[in-house]
Structure 1
Amino acid sequence: MKMVTNAFLVFFFYICAFCWHGLAVAQNLNSQIDSLITEKIPSEGPGAVVLVARGDSILYRKAFGQANLELQVPMKPDQVFQIGSMTKQFTAIAILKLMEEGRLHLEDDVRRFIPDYPTPEGSVTIHHLLNHTSGIKDFTSMRSIMEIARKDLRPQELIDFFKNEPMDFKPGTQFKYNNSGYVLLGYIIEKVSGKSYEEYIESELFTPAGMTDSRYAHYREIVPNRAYGYHNRKGYTNKLHISMNIPYASGALMASSDDLLKWQRALQTEKLVTRRTLELALSPKKLADGSPVEYGYGWHIKTIEGAKSIEHGGSVFGFKSMGVFLPEKDLYVVGLTNCDCISPTQLVREIATVALSNKQETQ
């Protein structure tokens, strides 16, 4: 009987020691991330939400700073932000979903969907648009962009704004990040599906992924937990107003960090597209001459501490965002800020590095 009791005590103390060690590891990870964030984000100004997860398990989820400066509303972890160019991954997956259904092909010429679109330098394909290798002029770099910034243009009108601009290079010969390409992709989604871009994204991506806080950004709608956006130019100001019809399929979505984790998990569990199709999106491509491009379809392909990193940031008036996925560790880190004076890009990569080095949490 004494031997049984002793064995039980040994087992009990082993379990306690294991739990205490796990708690200490988690506390260490939390304190390290806290330190990185508080160095960059003052508590009295606009703030951020940061989430770190491994698989379905949330390792870290906190809010910093203020969601509304005028009302002095502290930021909460479930705040909803405009995510800017992180929108592109949703547009890319929508296109690939239509491809899986046989309704379009990656080598389709843009003129199949927009017959009068000029391509003087050669065929521009859906692949080129997805991969930023089309050579089409990026409309956000045009000097006249502010002339339309507040206009509620229809997609065709937005395309008309840039379609006759000279091309930067022959399709497939260079990589140059390009918002115009994703505007064209949004319009192609509408033409093929018979739904507006907003309707398609909400019904075919948000709903099956369980993303209840995500939507196309509209100023007139009442959005629960909406964070307000700011600039800091010799002092904080409310963000400039632009029509969200302008960023459109290249940058007009909004989401919470919780919803972005749901999005990531839906991709990994084949709720939206097959694993084969997802791998197509997350694989680096090549130019016509065989030169590598560190971009797939809707995501940059990089490395962090030698580990493959699938990532993308976003910037739109008043907001910045960054998401990093490390597939070898099934680790996802996302940071959302409500001031375009706070860039989460390097911060999120640093947090991912800390999480990677934490063996207990990432094994």
Structure 2
Amino acid sequence: MATLHHRVAALIEHAGCPVLVGLQHRGTPPIYLTHGSTAAAGPLNPSALAYAASLAKQITAACAALLVRHGRLDMETTLAEWVPELPDWTHAVRLRHLVHHTAGMPPDEQIDAMIPADGDRTTTAVLQALNRLPAPTARPGGQYVYSNAGYVCLAVAVERAAGRRLPAFAQTHMFEPAGMSSSRYWPGPASQPPGARPLPNPHPAPLSLGDGGIWTTATDLMSWNQALDADELGISDLLHTASTLDDGTTLDYAWGLGIRTYARHRIYRHGGGWPGLRAQLIRIPDQRSGLTVIALTNDTDRTASLANALLDMLVQPGTTS
């Protein structure tokens, strides 16, 4: 049987784009393989600082969970209590609605359309856009609708509950304990932190925090997976709790994490994307296995298919390392 290393290499050769894979199998040390390169920055490598896009949501949710555990944040409080400068309709939105994408927020495309084309998409810009939009018609807690703006608002509530800016709070309570020495939330003003790998597309990464805003490496993402599997932060049970609508309907989304069943294994999964970049982060806790994919492409389906093929390989009986 081919080794795990060779099997991963064979899969990523067909990715059709520069791609980096980090993979852990049954608690063994992670392996990292890369394929392809760009003229501007050469091949990807495990320590390359890259934009994490929506993979940041699980870390934002983890910050909220830690504050819940310490009694400093109540997810039943309303958005209006934490961000009173927002419109009156936020009195009906609870923080649990934000973390589970059930808040009935205005659509992201409407919010982004309110931000000047020559301006940065910052947290302040998102809040200002929410103030200029009419009240949404959706009832909070009534349905699941993925919302980047909801996580921007959640991050503001986290900052105010913590009494610290999110980058500093996450550095002390998330990144350092999880061994993520290169990771950071980046609010600007530059479009990316020093030493980061530039996105291969002329669209700079947004500067809003919570929905995204994290720059990280493949090695750090695998450390994050390991920290959650080992419950090093003491919040994994809460992060893995499935959300429910207000009518009791259970959803397949936890705290910034999708919940799936794959080949009879419970897995936790989330993707992220921005022009020129697609990412996946997956864990299989009962096998102490997981993977990350960072691909320099706009093809979400291709990146998800690669992640699925790697996942198939991990759960196959007899896979060797």
TM-score normalized by the length of structure 1: 0.80
Structure 1 unaligned runs (5+)? 1-24, 231-237
Match of 2:19 in 1: 48
Cα shift readout 1:320-343 (whole Å, capped 9, x = no counterpart) = 110111122121111012333465
What is the RMSD computed on CA atoms of the aligned residues? Answer: 2.4
> Percent of pairs identical after alignment?
21
For residues 93-242 of structure 1, the aligned pairs below 5 Å read 93-120=62-89, 123-142=92-111, 144-145=113-114, 147=116, 150-151=119-120, 153=122, 155-163=123-131, 164-217=133-186, 218=188, 219=191, 221-223=193-195, 226-230=196-200, 238-242=201-205
| 2:126 aligned partner, one-letter code | L
For the Cα contact (< 8 Å) 1:211–1:259, is it kept in 2?
yes
For residues 55-70 of structure 1, the aligned pairs below 5 Å read 56-58=27-29, 60-66=31-37, 68-70=38-40
Match of 1:344 in 2: 303
| 1:265 aligned partner, one-letter code | Q
SS at match of 1:51: strand
For the Cα contact (< 8 Å) 2:30–2:222, is it kept in 1?
no
Cα shift readout 1:244-271 (whole Å, capped 9, x = no counterpart) = 323x210111111110111122222333
Cα shift readout 1:337-359 (whole Å, capped 9, x = no counterpart) = 23334652221122011111143
| 2:263 aligned partner, one-letter code | E
SS at match of 1:161: helix
For residues 194-343 of structure 1, the aligned pairs below 5 Å read 194-217=163-186, 218=188, 219=191, 221-223=193-195, 226-230=196-200, 238-242=201-205, 244-246=206-208, 248-272=209-233, 274=234, 277-341=235-299, 343=302
Structure 1 residue 53, shift from structure 2 partner: 0.5
SS at match of 2:146: coil
Structure 1 residue 35, shift from structure 2 partner: 2.4
Partners of 1:340 and 1:146 lie apart in 2 by 23
Structure 1 residue 50, shift from structure 2 partner: 0.3
Structure 1 residue 140, shift from structure 2 partner: 4.0
More helix by share: 1
Cα shift readout 1:188-231 (whole Å, capped 9, x = no counterpart) = 121112221212112221112121121224536422xx33322x
| 1:307 aligned partner, one-letter code | H
**Length, aligned pairs only:** 316
Match of 1:31 in 2: 6
Partners of 1:252 and 1:147 lie apart in 2 by 19
Structure 1 residue 146, shift from structure 2 partner: 5.5
| 2:262 aligned partner, one-letter code | I
Structure 1 residue 149, shift from structure 2 partner: 6.5
Question: Radius of gyration: which is bigger?
Answer: 1
SS at match of 2:207: coil
Partners of 1:195 and 1:121 lie apart in 2 by 23
SS at match of 2:92: coil
Which stretch shifts more, 31-40 or 290-299? 31-40
Match of 1:3 in 2: none
Structure 1 pair 257–121 and aligned structure 2 pair: CA distance change class (3 A)? closer
SS at match of 2:287: coil
SS at match of 1:49: strand
Partners of 1:266 and 1:293 lie apart in 2 by 25
For the Cα contact (< 8 Å) 1:121–1:169, is it kept in 2?
no
